[in-house]
Amino acid sequence: MRAFVFDKYKQPLHEVDSPEPTIGDRDVLVRVAAAGLNQLDEKIRTGEFKRILPYALPHALGHDVAGTVIRTGAKVRTFKPGDQVYSRVGMAQVGTFAERVAVDEADLALAPTTISTVEAASLPLVALTAWQALFVKGEVAAGQKVLIHAGAGGVGSIAIQLAKHLGATVATTASGSNADFVRELGADIVIDYRTQDFEQQLSGYDLVLDSLGGENLQKSLRVLRRGGKAIGIAGPPDPAFARAASLNPVLRLAITALTRTIRSQATRLGVSYEFLFMASSGTQLREIAGLIDSGALRPVVGRTVPFEEIPAALAALEGGGIRGKAVAIVGL
């Protein structure tokens, strides 16, 4: 089958004729119709995460998938051939830039019925990130104030909608050209990051979802009320993540040292910082599908590309400029 792999870190993806995936007793073989493109894929290829996400090379890439069930493992009871499904595959099964992929039953869900397959493929990674940041870690409640950075992007465009669904007042950062777009998604306050300083405009927030890191994260801590929380998805990883990921002691010490400054700043301000590395979850995807089909959330697909253009489209993600997600058409 056709698939995209990389042989060494920092080398480009290239197409290969790959063996058919083997499926275990709890796996589902999915014919890939469309695959979402994520910056995580590019960061893995360039080796940014190789110390915490080691892969035996060569390796395929691709985390998001929407498609059709072809075959199921002997112990699978939830899915059957012909089902339309979507997933953010688990880290051991990354490889949706291919014609077929094996997915653990626990990471899979029936796709929403009111949207297209391409739209379904855009959702898993970004929707699960928003869900776990706001609903699980953030415990956002009605009446709270939430700041979501990069509101026009993949995570931001879903997070704005989810925060509004939870009853929060939502501020976001975006370019002036995207101001009306993020307001349509539900943002109450829009900060033009090119001409305005959000730290000077906002205060007393309960939660910040930061997708940029660095100085942006430091400033985000200062717009929180005492007891508020910043959740970072761009880093740096925190000691809790290092423990949960069972990283080796040397790497744990390095991560502790790396985050000492931001954690000390949070302590001084009376706030907290947590790093989120999103986890696959078929259960949460079923909840998200319900919100999609009820009209509470809508996917945002800013660009589609053919299978052959996946490498170039991934490289272009770093430049931004896409509303929502880019999706590759694989088997439609």
CATH number at residue 151: 3.40.50.720
Q: Is residue 323 part of a domain?
A: yes
Q: What is the mean pLDDT of residues 302-310?
A: 96
In a shared domain, residues 119 and 204: no
What's the whole-number average pLDDT of the chain?
A: 93
In a shared domain, residues 257 and 323: no
The answer, yes or no, to whether residue 288 has pLDDT greater than 70, is yes
Chain segment 133-191, per-residue pLDDT in tens: 999 999 999 999 999 999 999 999 999 999 999 999 999 999 999 999 999 999 999 99
What confidence score (pLDDT) does residue 50 get? 78
The domain of 57 spans: 2-123+299-329
In a shared domain, residues 172 and 231: yes
Which residues, at least 6 apart from 271, have a Cβ–Cβ distance to it below 8 Å? 221, 224, 225, 226, 227, 228, 229, 230
Q: What is the CATH number of the domain that holds 92?
A: 3.90.180.10
In a shared domain, residues 16 and 44: yes
Q: Is residue 286 part of a domain?
A: no
Taking a C-beta distance cutoff of 8 angstroms, is the pair 146, 171 a contact? Answer: yes
In a shared domain, residues 136 and 150: yes
In a shared domain, residues 58 and 151: no
Q: How confident is the model at residue 91 (pLDDT cuts 50, 70, 90)?
A: confident
Q: What is the mean pLDDT of residues 247-268?
A: 77
Q: Is residue 290 part of a domain?
A: no
In a shared domain, residues 69 and 175: no
In a shared domain, residues 29 and 164: no
Q: What is the mean pLDDT of residues 61-90?
A: 97
What confidence score (pLDDT) does residue 248 get? 66
In a shared domain, residues 251 and 155: yes
Report yes or no on whether pTM surpasses 0.85: yes
Q: Is residue 10 part of a domain?
A: yes
Percent of the chain scoring above 90 in pLDDT: 80
Which residues, at least 6 apart from 41, have a Cβ–Cβ distance to it below 8 Å? 61, 62, 63, 97, 314
| Amino acid at site 284 | Q
Q: Is residue 267 part of a domain?
A: yes
Which residues, at least 6 apart from 48, have a Cβ–Cβ distance to it below 8 Å? none
Q: Is residue 321 part of a domain?
A: yes
Chain segment 112-126, per-residue pLDDT in tens: 999 999 999 999 999
Q: Which of 36, 138, 88, 114 is nearest to 289 (CA)?
A: 114
In a shared domain, residues 146 and 94: no
In a shared domain, residues 105 and 74: yes
What confidence score (pLDDT) does residue 137 get? 95
In a shared domain, residues 74 and 184: no
With 0-12 / 13-18 / 19 or more C-beta atoms within 10 angstroms meaning exposed / middle / buried, residue 261 is: exposed
Q: Is residue 86 part of a domain?
A: yes
Taking a C-beta distance cutoff of 8 angstroms, is the pair 39, 312 a contact? Answer: no
Which residue(s) pair with 61 in the sheet?
none
The answer, yes or no, to whether residue 245 has pLDDT greater than 70, is no
d(CA 64, CA 92): 13
Q: How confident is the model at residue 242 (pLDDT cuts 50, 70, 90)?
A: low
The answer, yes or no, to whether residue 54 has pLDDT greater than 80, is no
What confidence score (pLDDT) does residue 2 get? 96
d(CA 2, CA 322): 27
Q: Is residue 288 part of a domain?
A: no
> Number of structural domains, the chain?
2
d(CA 177, CA 180): 7
Q: What is the mean pLDDT of residues 92-104?
A: 96
